[in-house]
Amino acid sequence: MNVGVRLYYARQYSLALKELQKTLELYPDSNLLLHNLGHVYLQAGMYEEAIATLQKAETLYGSNAHNRALLAEVYAASGRRREAQRLLEELLRQAKQGKAHARDIAGVYVALGEKEQAFPWLEKAYEARDPYLRYVKVDPRLDPLRSDPRFQQLLQRMNFPD
């Protein structure tokens, strides 16, 4: 799985899929594996596969904000904006209760093409010292933000090397 995840961050999605699918044969019910596979399917443009994979994770493990956020991103990328917005509203309610992460909400806004809404949520994640921000420099879901000076400033504040 770790090899597949690293290939995902290297944007080698077909190789990442092969590695993750091999791992899935060994661990067909791993929530983390299903979630990572959902990420790769999303970036590979395989939206129906991503939706089915994330729904399987929900069936096996119940609903959680992290998977729901990724599902919202898939819906947004696949043109199912209404469904993405519905999940985003759910995540915003959960965030008020401390049950959804700011980084996930930022990702949904990016997928919806609402960059201005994404930045305050990235700031909240930074202020909360969200450990998943360690991937901010390489996460392909954030590629639409990379040219924005605010994103570059965030990377500098996080002391990422150039």
What's the token pair of residue 130? 């969200």
Cβ atoms of residues 111 and 141 within 8 Å: yes
Cβ density class 72-92: b for 16+ within 10 Å, e for less = bbbbbbbebeebbeebbebbe
Please state, rounded to an integer, the average pLDDT across all residues of the chain: 96
Q: How many residues does the chain have?
A: 162
pLDDT tens digits for 109-159? 999 999 999 999 999 999 999 999 999 999 999 999 999 999 999 999 999
pLDDT in tens, 75-97: 999 999 999 999 999 999 999 99
Is a pLDDT exceeding 90 seen at residue 162? Answer: no
The string of pLDDT tens digits covering residues 92-118 is 999 999 999 999 999 999 999 999 999
Contact 23, 4 (CB under 8 A): yes
In sign, the C-alpha dihedral spanning 98, 100, 103, 107 is: negative
The pLDDT value given to residue 160 = 86
pTM of the model: 0.95
CA distance linking residue 68 with residue 104, whole number of Å: 9
CATH code for the part of the protein at 1-62 = 1.25.40.10
Domain with CATH 1.25.40.10 in the chain: 1-62
